[in-house]
Amino acid sequence: MSVTKQAVLKALGTVKGPDFEGDLVSLGLVSEIFIADGKVFFSITVPADRARELEPLRAAAERCVKSLPGVNSAVVALTAEKKGGGMERAPQPRPAAAPRPAPAARPQQAPAPAGRQTGKRAVPGVKSIIAVASGKGGVGKSTTAVNLALALKATGLKVGLLDADIYGPSMPRLLGISGRPETVEGKILKPMDGYGLKVMSIGFLVEEETPMIWRGPMVMSALTQMLREVEWGELDILVVDMPPGTGDAQLTMAQQVPLAGAVIVSTPQDLALIDARKGLNMFRKVEVPVLGIVENMSYFVAPDTGKRYDIFGHGGARREAERLGIAFLGEVPLEMAIRESSDAGNPVAVAEPEGPHAAAYGTIAANVLASLENAGGEAAARAPAIVFE
Burial pattern 297-320, b for ≥16 Cβ within 10 A else e, equals bbbbeeeeeeeeeeebbbebbbeb
pLDDT (0 to 100) of residue 171: 92
User: If one looks up domain 113-380 in CATH, what number appears?
Assistant: 3.40.50.300
Element holding 184 (H helix, E strand): strand 183-184
pLDDT at 119: 55
pLDDT score at 52: 74
The residue among 196, 192, 190, 204 whose CA lies nearest residue 152 is 196
Is 71 exposed, middle or buried, given 0-12, 13-18 or 19+ CB atoms closer than 10 A? Answer: buried
pLDDT at res. 84? 39
Environment class of 349 (CB within 10 Å of its CB; exposed 0-12, middle 13-18, buried 19+)? buried
The pLDDT assigned to 323 comes to: 85
pLDDT at 157: 96
**Alpha carbon distance 267, 127 (integer Å):** 30
Q: Is the pTM of this model over 0.75?
A: no
Residue 173 burial by CB count (10 A; 0-12/13-18/19+): exposed, middle or buried? middle
Task: Return the domain boundaries, the chain.
Answer: 5-87, 113-380
- CATH classification for the domain delimited by 5-87, as one of 3.30.230.70, 3.10.290.10, 3.40.50.1010, 3.30.300.130: 3.30.300.130
Per-residue pLDDT of the chain (389 residues; tens, 9 = 90+): 688 999 999 999 999 988 878 899 999 888 878 787 788 888 888 887 777 788 889 889 989 999 999 888 887 877 765 443 333 333 333 334 444 444 443 333 333 444 444 457 788 899 999 999 887 777 889 999 999 999 999 999 999 999 988 777 889 999 999 888 888 876 788 999 999 999 999 888 776 666 565 666 677 777 878 888 899 999 999 999 988 776 666 777 777 788 899 999 988 876 567 767 777 778 877 788 999 999 988 888 888 888 888 877 778 888 888 888 889 999 999 888 898 898 899 999 999 999 999 999 999 999 999 999 887 644 333 333 333 33
Neighbours of 191 (CB within 10 A): 22
DSSP-assigned beta bridge partners for residue 293: 264, 328
The span from the CA of 366 to the CA of 174, in Å, is: 22
Q: Is the dihedral of CA 266, 267, 268, 271 positive or negative?
A: negative
SS3 content of the chain, % helix, strand, coil (to 5): 35, 20, 45
Nearest by Cα to 144 from 317, 355, 330? 330
Equal fold, 5-87 vs 113-380: no
